[in-house]
Amino acid sequence: MSASLYALGVGIGTRNLNGDWLEVYFPAPMMDVSEELTAALSGAGYSGQAVHELDSDGLSELGKLCATVGAPDLWSICEAMVSSSRPAVLVMLDGDSAPASVPEAYLKLQLISHRLVKPHQTNLDGIFAVLPNVAWTSEGAIDLAELPARQLAARVQGRDLEVSCVDKFPKMTNYVVPSGVRIAHTARVRLGAYLGEGTTVMHEGFVNFNAGTEGPGMIEGRISAGVFVGAGSDVGGGASIMGTLSGGGDTVNSMGRDCLLGANAGLGIPLGDRCTVEAGLYITAGTKVAVLDADGQDVSVIKARELAGKSDLLFRRNSQTGRVECLANKSAIALNEELHAHN
């Protein structure tokens, strides 16, 4: 075992009638756990890469242990869970390996949404196979096989059981609400999204898991899985950034700082800083681009992938010829400070 744990979380969750985990909520997940706490847990029989289910006695004892080693957040969480009838769990990760269970997967997703680690900085390989498809309802997570019986029981009792979605990933705000952000439609931000301070996600904006924004920024379009948007950048209404799950292959697409992806535009290559893609223009790796010099004269025609990661570029479509052009653009996009104030 390493000197200190990679990550740790005490959570409370939901299991189906077979005892299988559907989801777990971790109020205060931790990374880079201290050697003192790691040693104390090991001495109490909690060591290595493990998922420990906790009854009320186990929660009480764990809380006392955490209090003795200066971990008041974990102590208060354990104390709050002692009287609950819902299942509790201690998840310990001794390294950044792929999640092998639902509790491990939920801990990793919440590490991202709590801003303890950025997208691509923790291993989520195989997470789709680990997570069950769940009905997310007004009464919490329900196994799909158990949903009809629960719906009938609710109707018999004079209640309507609302099913808000059926998905492997819940909405982030049921688990984490980061500080300094605005989210107009919470169902459009999945757990595992990273929203930096000063981010605004408008009603039609969408942020997938393992993706997000450095902040500040205005998100009115789609940030697909794996995509990260730099500080001061805007994703316009109806715009979309191609992720690794939507045809991007192994390429990690991103936007640098102070960029603008215009309304209804699309991006299939990573951009550097201070770049603009005009409204309605979709740039993919294979798009033929005419590169222009400062005087607007043709320099060459290349595929857009050759411009990946470069800064100070303006992509536009020539309204007369229809060809895609690229020229230098050294004026950064200035965000409206009042609009992005989230105090």
179/265 Cα distance (integer angstroms): 29
Answer for the pair 303, 285: CB distance below 8 angstroms, yes or no: yes
* Catalytic residue (choose from 220, 306, 325, 338): 220
User: Which is it for strands 233-235 and 217-219: parallel, antiparallel or unpaired?
Assistant: parallel
Q: Is 162 a catalytic residue?
A: no
Diameter over CA atoms, the chain: 76
The phi, psi pair for 270, rounded to 5°, reads -75, 140
Give the CA angle between residues 205, 207, 211 to the nearest 5°.
Answer: 150
User: Which is it for strands 134-137 and 163-167: parallel, antiparallel or unpaired?
Assistant: antiparallel
Of 235, 164, 228, 246, whose CA–CA distance to 202 is shortest? 235
238: Cβ contacts below 8 Å, ≥ 6 apart: 204, 220, 221, 263, 264
Burial of 3 (C-beta count, 10 Å sphere; 0-12/13-18/19+): exposed
Length of the chain: 343
DSSP string of 2-46? -SS-SEEEEEEEEE-TTS-EEEEE-SS-EES--HHHHHHHHHTT-
Residue type, 126: G
User: Which is it for strands 288-292 and 298-303: parallel, antiparallel or unpaired?
Assistant: antiparallel
The sheet with strand 254-255 has its strands ordered as: 193-195, 211-213, 228-229, 254-255
Answer for the pair 302, 323: CB distance below 8 angstroms, yes or no: no
Tokens of 148: 């009809």
Which residues are marked as active site?
220
